[in-house]
Amino acid sequence: MAAEVDSAVEAVAQDPDIGEKKKGDLSELWVYTFRCLGQLYLLGYTRDDSARLVYLEAAGPHENFYRDLKR
């Protein structure tokens, strides 16, 4: 599992535009979708383009991902 997450992090680091920018109350969040252990996983991150930084916010299965992030 760690290898899949590491690969997803590397993909986002190489191309931060790879994810999807969310709307509404999570409008600062970008989400990259990947498969891990046969399940859909999401990697949530925010960006500071002026400093060329990507901040990892959360990673986990799709189920309840957005609900947990809002807390």
This prediction's pTM: 0.91
Say whether pLDDT at 71 is over 80. Answer: no
43-52 per-position pLDDT tens digit: 999 999 999 9
Average pLDDT over residues 20-49: 95
Number of other residues whose CB lies within 10 A of the CB of residue 47? 18
Q: Which of 19, 65, 16 is nearest to 41 (CA)?
A: 65
DSSP state letters, 21-63: E--GGGTT-EEEEEEETTEEEEEEEEEETTTTEEEEEEEEEST
- Binning pLDDT at 50, 70 and 90, where does residue 63 land? confident
For the chain, what are the domain ranges?
Answer: 2-70
